[in-house]
Amino acid sequence: MATPAIITCPITGREARVVRGEALAVLPPYPSKAYNATLDVVDTAYTVVPGRGSETFHITSIILIGNKNINTATDATVTIFEALATDLTSSLNNILVVPVGTSGQLVLTGIDIEAGDGRFLMGKTSDDDVFVTILGYYI
């Protein structure tokens, strides 16, 4: 009979979890890979991270950089969302909705956000140009 147990990393305090190959891991099981897109047309959805079959994408960092073309009076609203391959313009789930100003930047690191199986991560903006980098790995 199995005994319930929780294994944690003594350094980070993160709980171990079962990953591919039924191994236990307390850190991301794979190195992050960077995916980039330039959001240069207003209210147009751009693929940042493509969906891959039934695999799940885990986001570890998000970097947004606005250039000098953004209106100085109003920030650009940047939306990062999940979409299906059959409809890349409709949001199934907003991951992030934030303002980015002229020459502004937002750097989110040390996060662990899971996208749905096979879902694309898309980006769009209310003002151009915003450069998006999403780092993470597929499981």
Kindly state the average pLDDT of the residues 77-91: 97
pTM, rounded to two decimals: 0.82
For 39-83, the pLDDT digits (tens) are 999 999 999 999 999 999 999 999 999 999 999 999 999 999 999
Domain-wise residue ranges, the chain: 1-28, 31-138
- Summary mean pLDDT of the chain: 91
Distance CA(125)–CA(104), nearest Å, equals: 14
**Minimal CA–CA distance to 69: which of 125, 123, 124, 129?**
129
Record the tokens describing residue 44, joined without a space.
């147009």
Residue type for position 27: L
Q: The domain at 31-138 falls in which architecture?
A: Sandwich (2.60)
